[in-house]
Chain A
């Protein structure tokens, strides 16, 4: 749409739709995001919903939101302060005011601001009429009244209760108008979704357009709008995908490139369940998905499947990873490929199930009995979960070792545009199968990778026994020989270390030397990258090294670190990667930026840390 008078052009905007659980905010946000994608904006989305399914109406606990960050520039994070906040009740406003800035446009359903709803969320006076929001751009929309009047006016054959379920469509229509976007994408969606219920499709469309047109009734002072031009995205096809779905697809792609069947053994746990749910759909791709009776059965079935020749995976979140620890050691000992996906959440114990944290790193690295090294990787964006899952599987299979892939709740639930690759051009995965009818020794190794060979049950001439007891090098005979144990411990460690020869070198964003190197890993990449970009724009010699491969570290890590005067390690935990770095590369001094609020980093707090360090 062309620019109009009173239209403000923005290079990006953050919009959040908030309402009661059950108000349809997730759908509203998704449809807004899809419209942005359709218009060519780059984007990320982030849902913010309570752990309960239907908490009491109109309470803070029941607030469910969906945030869309879109722009003409590359969108790296999930966005911070809101440009537009859409609230369907007072609780939504109260819970989200902290994310607003002084010029945030706040759209509210003014019909929902009554004595009862205000009291439910602890407002003693109405924020729309008292002075508390003075100076904010509040657009009051009597959503219920508008809908009721319209239904009466058109004499539609639908009761008010049904029509009022579409309150979300009204605010969506208005928000689309506010950003000079069209309604046709959403209308097409409604036609398809309610193909068999024409009247519902019609009512939704009427209410959507009612909101869209309501813009014209706004007072002249509120008739401003925004325009976010399309991004310069690379040619190709894109999908808006969340990290959990991308993880599932990455595993499927790996199975295809390895010519193996995928086996997933998993137990539902927030926020990892969706990977299991997604893979359960794809039987046509041969995925054998086993919903186990518990976390332990999830991983143990996967180990059995791996022994039997499948590409095996198990998916979980923190508490589940704890339960899997012993079996992870079994996978180390039997030297079988296995991908363990841990979608991290706030801990310890049950912790904050729906909130994100990066506090399982040390557990992934060292949380097992005995010397039990394995690959540890971390995905860094929702779309990257696809590639990280693929590489986790590739390295695990080709090097005959389990691999932990760390993602987190924000990556798992958050989405971004994913450029659809051609799977046929992705690297092939070559399982180190033992040849039939050879003199097979279970612990004979490839001299370069140190990977043992995979002898699949059913193959002629390769019968053998493996298990959790220490085995004699090469032959695999059970033994407690002291020298052999030391040798085997070192071999298993060396095998994992040698993977550094097969992963990409660590890259540095910015100059290869300077005053400050910002180090991070996992799901914080976007916002930290944005903070470093700003520092660079402000003329500072700050660079960014974001790690995907943690165990082993890329070979050039030491060399990178040596080129900076100071190093700061930023993590959403009490300092875990930094503990690891201090152990592995103790010659450097590491400063820390840690946040343990189950919230993402914010740019300002990061920059403040950087400046303080630069000035010290």
Chain B
């Protein structure tokens, strides 16, 4: 992991996982996917290397949003759906903070959908950990905007009749500059992806396919289980061909304007035919197709799908302020009050 270069002040001592353990009892259900996310965050924060006081974790409401209490950083547990808006204020007010958001599928894509698309559109330099368990957990099992069509839940006893969001499609549709996806049972990949997110300047969205053991158990199992993962996950690596499968012989090829799964060694297909991942590509076309891949015809793309360079909102704010400070004659409020039309009574 190469060091991150930006204006956030770095720690001058080596930090460890223990520096970020809050010591509060963790109250998620045993077996909940959130535990792994906590582990990954505790792993990656010391590696990122910023001073420990420069991390801020903001959350909304839901199981995911208890996250700030369990990490020893500055933390803010907000209200339902508003973590992205609160975090925008934190980052714009103080761009020298590393801002992380813990949120869920309901928090960010239902009640907070508006803030979610707009923080992405603005490209505020924050990192969003989106716990996608495809269910409302804390209210005990109602369908969410990512619940698969037809699923039986407490509020859809006859099956849902709503088309779910594909998180990646929504993020890219909102002009997202960074999107990654990871399963909750691969802490190593999660840690790597979080590091990549920290490196990215702009809004980084990490969709974590999280299991809710109580209300939506095994909802991701067809992708994340030990038996399924080799055939149903494509772990992307920048600059490397998109190869997957237990035998590492399946790959993704571009045919016409669409992706297809091919087998290397069959029908004259060689490794040269396989698409090479370019996460830095500005054009989101392939990224979008990768984000939308799903079984049964495709594996689910994991890892960093997109990481494109664009100016960040908070940098642009600072640049405008610096520029105005250089050029404006109004340097104090007294200057302002005495500018323009002034009438003097002698």
- On whether the beta carbons of B54 and A458 are closer than 8 Å, the reply is yes
- For residue B51, which residues in chain A have a CB less than 8 angstroms away from its CB? 458, 460
- For residue B79, which residues in chain A have a CB less than 8 angstroms away from its CB? 300, 326-327, 330, 468
Q: Which of B82, B91, B93 contacts A327 (CB 8 A)?
A: B82
- For residue B344, which residues in chain A have a CB less than 8 angstroms away from its CB? 236-238
- On whether the beta carbons of B77 and A304 are closer than 8 Å, the reply is no
- For residue B323, which residues in chain A have a CB less than 8 angstroms away from its CB? 283
- For residue B24, which residues in chain A have a CB less than 8 angstroms away from its CB? 477
- On whether the beta carbons of B78 and A284 are closer than 8 Å, the reply is no
Counting CB contacts under 8 A, is A312 at the interface?
yes
- On whether the beta carbons of B92 and A290 are closer than 8 Å, the reply is yes
In whole Å, how far is A585's beta carbon from the nearest beta carbon of chain B?
A: 34
- On whether the beta carbons of B56 and A457 are closer than 8 Å, the reply is yes
Closest residue on chain B to residue A462 by CB atoms: B53
A residues 442-476 touching B (CB-CB < 8 Å): 455-469
Closest residue on chain B to residue A240 by CB atoms: B341
- On whether the beta carbons of B78 and A236 are closer than 8 Å, the reply is no
- On whether the beta carbons of B89 and A312 are closer than 8 Å, the reply is yes
Q: Which of A236, A296, A302, A463 contacts B89 (CB 8 A)?
A: A302
A288-B92, A464-B74 known; A282 vs B86 contact (CB < 8 Å): no
Q: Which of A37, A294, A456, A477 contacts B114 (CB 8 A)?
A: A294
- On whether the beta carbons of A239 and B87 are closer than 8 Å, the reply is no
- On whether the beta carbons of A465 and B69 are closer than 8 Å, the reply is yes
Closest residue on chain B to residue A422 by CB atoms: B334
- For residue A455, which residues in chain B have a CB less than 8 angstroms away from its CB? 74
- For residue B346, which residues in chain A have a CB less than 8 angstroms away from its CB? 235
- On whether the beta carbons of B90 and A300 are closer than 8 Å, the reply is no
- On whether the beta carbons of B89 and A303 are closer than 8 Å, the reply is yes
- For residue A290, which residues in chain B have a CB less than 8 angstroms away from its CB? 88-89, 92
A residues 15-58 touching B (CB-CB < 8 Å): 34, 37-38, 40
In whole Å, how far is B157's beta carbon from the nearest beta carbon of chain A?
A: 30
Interface stretch, picked from A83-91, A249-257, A498-506, A543-551, is A249-257
Counting CB contacts under 8 A, is B345 at the interface?
yes
Q: Which of B68, B97, B331 contacts A467 (CB 8 A)?
A: B68
- For residue A305, which residues in chain B have a CB less than 8 angstroms away from its CB? 89-90, 92-93
Q: Which of B77, B332, B340 contacts A423 (CB 8 A)?
A: B332
Q: Which of A286, A309, A421, A468 contacts B78 (CB 8 A)?
A: A468
Closest residue on chain B to residue A314 by CB atoms: B89
- For residue B343, which residues in chain A have a CB less than 8 angstroms away from its CB? 37-38, 40, 237-240, 417
- On whether the beta carbons of A463 and B324 are closer than 8 Å, the reply is no
In whole Å, how far is B335's beta carbon from the nearest beta carbon of chain A?
A: 9
Inter-chain contact total with CB atoms closer than 8 Å: 208
B residues 1-54 touching A (CB-CB < 8 Å): 9, 22, 24, 51-54
Of listed A239, A261, A327, A465, residue having the most chain B CB within 10 A: A465
- For residue B53, which residues in chain A have a CB less than 8 angstroms away from its CB? 457-463
Q: Which of B9, B22, B88, B331 contacts A284 (CB 8 A)?
A: B331
* Secondary structure call for the A interface: mixed
Q: Which of B52, B82, B330, B340 contacts A300 (CB 8 A)?
A: B82
Q: Which of B9, B90, B320, B324 contacts A307 (CB 8 A)?
A: B90
Q: How many residues of B contact A (CB 8 A)?
A: 60
A284-B325, A286-B321, A465-B68 known; A265 vs B333 contact (CB < 8 Å): no
Complex Cα spacing A463 to B74, Å: 5
Closest residue on chain A to residue B73 by CB atoms: A463
Counting CB contacts under 8 A, is A292 at the interface?
yes
Counting CB contacts under 8 A, is B317 at the interface?
yes
- On whether the beta carbons of B78 and A288 are closer than 8 Å, the reply is no
- On whether the beta carbons of B333 and A423 are closer than 8 Å, the reply is yes
Complex Cα spacing A476 to B61, Å: 18
Q: Which of B58, B73, B118, B341 contacts A239 (CB 8 A)?
A: B341
In whole Å, how far is A181's beta carbon from the nearest beta carbon of chain B?
A: 14
Complex Cα spacing A285 to B51, Å: 29
Counting CB contacts under 8 A, is B338 at the interface?
yes
- For residue A477, which residues in chain B have a CB less than 8 angstroms away from its CB? 24
Q: Which of B74, B341, B345 contacts A234 (CB 8 A)?
A: B345
- On whether the beta carbons of B89 and A304 are closer than 8 Å, the reply is yes
Of listed A256, A265, A283, A292, residue having the most chain B CB within 10 A: A283
- On whether the beta carbons of A308 and B90 are closer than 8 Å, the reply is yes
Q: Which of B85, B93, B342 contacts A310 (CB 8 A)?
A: B93
- For residue A464, which residues in chain B have a CB less than 8 angstroms away from its CB? 74-75
A304-B58, A424-B334, A458-B54 known; A463 vs B321 contact (CB < 8 Å): no
Complex Cα spacing A303 to B90, Å: 8
- For residue B222, which residues in chain A have a CB less than 8 angstroms away from its CB? none
In whole Å, how far is B203's beta carbon from the nearest beta carbon of chain A?
A: 14
A283-B320, A460-B53 known; A309 vs B85 contact (CB < 8 Å): no
Complex Cα spacing A564 to B244, Å: 87
Q: Which of B75, B87, B341 contacts A34 (CB 8 A)?
A: B341
**What are 9 A-B contacts defined by CB distance under 8 Å?**
A239-B337, A286-B321, A290-B88, A292-B85, A301-B86, A304-B58, A307-B90, A460-B53, A467-B76
- Sample of 7 further A-B pairs with CB below 8 A, known A301-B89, A304-B89, A457-B54: A265-B89, A283-B323, A285-B333, A288-B92, A293-B115, A297-B88, A300-B79
Interface residues of A (CB under 8 A from B): 34, 37-38, 40, 233-240, 249, 252-253, 256, 261, 263, 265, 282-286, 288, 290, 292-294, 296-297, 300-310, 312, 326-327, 330, 334, 417, 420-424, 455-469, 477-478
**9 residue pairs, one from A and one from B, having the closest CB atoms:** A467-B77, A304-B89, A284-B328, A301-B89, A465-B75, A305-B93, A300-B85, A283-B324, A305-B89
